[in-house]
């Protein structure tokens, strides 16, 4: 693809994002879009220093390299194999550091990108803010609610941008889905079902004879991670908050080390219910030993359903054929299956298999777009409205979910704990 063709693709992509954000009052739901539309391709690149060059950090570097208003100006990692892999993605002259404080002291950057283990997000954010830099940080925000709160208040006191990596906020399919839900197409939303299922142990190989187990496998230990809740669930809690337009009132759940009995401390299987005002619920499950249903959300209203991860919207189906009629049709077509018989008026409660309607725009890169929006925020000194609020509430909810599972009893949303209180 030529440079001109790629530029056109990006511009069309941005146009579609802004169009989706404009539907059904989306200026309030995704207010960052207006800022992105003002100057989507900035003339001057914002210089980013990337802290953490593991798998996720390198993926972010590759996304940054696709943008037209960001540049990777420095990289940092205290694990040499990761740093060497990141060097291979960048010009040889790109400065590389093994201590993030040395990178901050060296200057030459406008902002940092933090893609390190969860438990060091807060201190690295504080160090960058103290150095006068803006911060883009991976989700979840931090290991504790206190640190999440401190990250918000410190960024506000410093007058610097703090943006958290919730890329669904930039995904045109999700924006279109939210616009159509807010327009009433699926009726009153009463339940969101979400899951993120994988079939791998999350364990990384440790060099023989080294003491790097907890460093490389930080996701498996409580001191550095809440496991499935902070590594995966925050994305989908944010989606539920978004579609409900509210915060959870309480959460209950059960977690276990059910399959990977390898010395890990975090749960490999979780099931939770988040209550929302009006009796609405987010039902969330995540496990690490079966990937059949993968990552999905089901937004369920009385007129229809939306599955944004699959890019589909479905209307509720008309009355189904009574069971005996269905059986006669199956016999006529040579189909064989066991069905219960409850009389001629019995309706089989089977999953809906209608194809639904596409929500559109399957070819895009929302991870790239979030950095372009971050760069524009850095240039103007104005945070994109709504992003930090969404991230803060999702991180807090994920940590409350961990607490509820540990306690074995419901945990209520803490009184007075909301982003708007921090802004006051």
Two tokens, residue 186: 């699926």
Do residues 275 and 248 touch, judged by C-beta distance below 8 A? Answer: yes
Q: Which residues contact 323 (CB under 8 A, 6 or more apart)?
A: 339, 340, 341, 342, 343, 344, 346, 347, 348
- Please give the DSSP secondary-structure letter assigned to residue 341: -
Is the pLDDT at 2 greater than 90? The verdict is no
Residue 113 forms part of a structural domain: yes
Higher-pLDDT residue of 337 and 377 is 377
Q: Are residues 138 and 210 in the same domain?
A: no
- What backbone torsions phi and psi does residue 2 show, to the nearest 5 degrees? -75, 160
pTM, to two decimals: 0.87
Q: Are residues 163 and 294 in the same domain?
A: no
Q: Are residues 131 and 197 in the same domain?
A: no
Q: 207-259 pLDDT, tens per residue?
A: 999 999 999 999 999 999 999 999 999 999 999 999 999 999 999 999 999 99
Q: 40-69 pLDDT, tens per residue?
A: 444 589 999 999 999 999 999 999 999 989
Two tokens, residue 126: 């504080």
Q: Which residues contact 180 (CB under 8 A, 6 or more apart)?
A: 23, 24, 186, 306, 313, 359
Q: Which residues contact 127 (CB under 8 A, 6 or more apart)?
A: 100, 101, 104
Q: Which residues contact 194 (CB under 8 A, 6 or more apart)?
A: 236, 239, 240, 282, 283, 284, 285, 296, 297, 298
Count other Cβ atoms within 10 Å, centred on residue 225. 24
Distance CA 74, CA 54 (A): 15
Residue 70 forms part of a structural domain: yes
Helices and strands, counts by H and E, the chain = 16, 15
Residue 5 forms part of a structural domain: no
3-state secondary structure at position 275: strand
Supply the pLDDT for residue 8.
47
Q: Are residues 120 and 245 in the same domain?
A: no
Two tokens, residue 115: 């893609």
CATH (domain of 162): 3.40.50.720
Distance CA 305, CA 200 (A): 30
Bridge partners, 111 (sequence order): 48, 134
3-state secondary structure at position 196: strand
Q: 270-302 pLDDT, tens per residue?
A: 999 999 999 999 999 999 999 999 999 999 999
Residue 129 forms part of a structural domain: yes
Count of domains for the chain: 2
Residue 12 forms part of a structural domain: no
Residue 376 forms part of a structural domain: yes
Q: Among 79-88, 92-101, 207-216, 320-329, which is the least confidently predicted range?
A: 320-329
Residue 9 forms part of a structural domain: no
Do residues 162 and 377 touch, judged by C-beta distance below 8 A? Answer: no
Residue 242 structural domain: 189-301+394-423
3-state secondary structure at position 58: helix
3-state secondary structure at position 273: strand
pLDDT > 90 fraction of the chain, expressed in percent and rounded? 71
Q: Are residues 157 and 58 in the same domain?
A: yes
Supply the pLDDT for residue 328.
76
Supply the pLDDT for residue 188.
98
Q: Are residues 280 and 136 in the same domain?
A: no
String of DSSP letters for 121-161: HHHHHHHHHHTT-EEEEPSS--SSHHHHHHHHHHHHHHT--
Q: Are residues 418 and 282 in the same domain?
A: yes
Q: What is the Cβ-side half-sphere exposure of residue 298, based on CA atoms within 13 angstroms?
A: 15
Two tokens, residue 307: 């599955």
Q: Are residues 401 and 376 in the same domain?
A: no
Burial of 69 (0-12, 13-18, 19+ CB in 10 A): buried
Q: Are residues 283 and 417 in the same domain?
A: yes
CATH (domain of 272): 3.30.360.10
**Short-list 31, 122, 400, 354, CA closest to 250:** 400
- Please give the DSSP secondary-structure letter assigned to residue 289: B
H or E segment to which residue 239 belongs: helix 234-244
Q: Are residues 201 and 150 in the same domain?
A: no
Q: Are residues 47 and 126 in the same domain?
A: yes
Please say whether the dihedral angle defined by the alpha carbons of residues 30, 41, 56 and 378, taken in this order, is positive or negative. Answer: negative
Residue 407 forms part of a structural domain: yes
Q: Are residues 276 and 401 in the same domain?
A: yes
Two tokens, residue 364: 């895009």
**Short-list 294, 288, 84, CA closest to 203:** 288
Higher-pLDDT residue of 71 and 9 is 71
**Mean pLDDT, rounded, for 311-339:** 75
Bridge partners, 314 (sequence order): 305
Two tokens, residue 292: 């059949």
């Amino acid at each position: 693809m030529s440079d001109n063709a790629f530029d056109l693709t990006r511009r069309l992509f941005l146009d579609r994002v802004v169009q989706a954000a404009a539907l059904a009052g989306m200026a309030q739901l995704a207010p960052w879009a207006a800022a992105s539309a003002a100057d989507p391709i900035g003339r001057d690149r914002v210089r980013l220093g990337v802290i953490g060059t593991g798998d996720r950090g390198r993926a972010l570097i590759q996304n940054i390299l696709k943008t037209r208003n960001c540049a990777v100006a420095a990289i940092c990692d205290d694990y040499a194999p990761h740093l060497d892999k990141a060097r291979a993605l960048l010009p040889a002259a790109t400065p590389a550091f093994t201590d993030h404080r040395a990178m901050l002291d060296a200057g030459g950057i406008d902002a940092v990108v933090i893609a390190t283990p969860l438990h060091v997000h807060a201190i690295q954010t504080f160090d960058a803010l103290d150095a006068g830099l803006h911060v883009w940080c991976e989700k979840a925000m931090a290991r504790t609610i206190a640190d999440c709160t401190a990250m918000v208040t410190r960024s506000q006191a410093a007058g610097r941008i703090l943006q958290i990596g919730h890329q669904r906020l930039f995904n045109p399919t999700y924006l279109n889905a939210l616009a159509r839900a807010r327009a009433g197409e699926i009726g009153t939303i009463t339940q969101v079902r979400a899951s993120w299922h994988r079939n791998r142990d999350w364990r990384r190989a440790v060099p023989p004879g080294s003491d790097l187990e907890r460093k490389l496998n930080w996701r498996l230990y409580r001191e550095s991670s809440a496991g499935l809740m902070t590594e995966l669930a925050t994305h989908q809690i944010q989606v539920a908050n978004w579609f409900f337009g509210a915060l959870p009132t309480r959460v209950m759940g059960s977690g276990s080390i059910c399959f990977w009995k390898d010395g890990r401390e975090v749960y490999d299987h979780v099931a939770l219910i988040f209550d929302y005002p009006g009796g609405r619920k987010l039902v969330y499950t995540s496990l690490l030993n079966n990937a059949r249903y993968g990552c999905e959300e089901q937004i369920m209203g009385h007129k229809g359903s939306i599955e944004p991860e699959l890019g589909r919207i479905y209307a509720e189906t008309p009355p189904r054929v009574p069971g005996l009629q269905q059986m006669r049709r199956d016999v006529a077509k040579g189909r064989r299956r066991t069905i219960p018989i409850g009389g001629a008026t019995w309706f089989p409660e089977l999953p809906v298999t209608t194809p639904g309607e596409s929500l559109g725009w399957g070819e895009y890169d929302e991870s790239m777009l979030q950095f372009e929006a971050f760069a524009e925020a850095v240039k103007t000194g104005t945070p994109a409205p709504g992003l930090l609020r969404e991230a803060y509430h999702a991180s807090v909810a994920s940590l409350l979910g961990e607490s509820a599972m540990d306690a074995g009893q419901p945990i209520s949303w803490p009184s007075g704990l909301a982003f708007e209180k921090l802004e006051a």
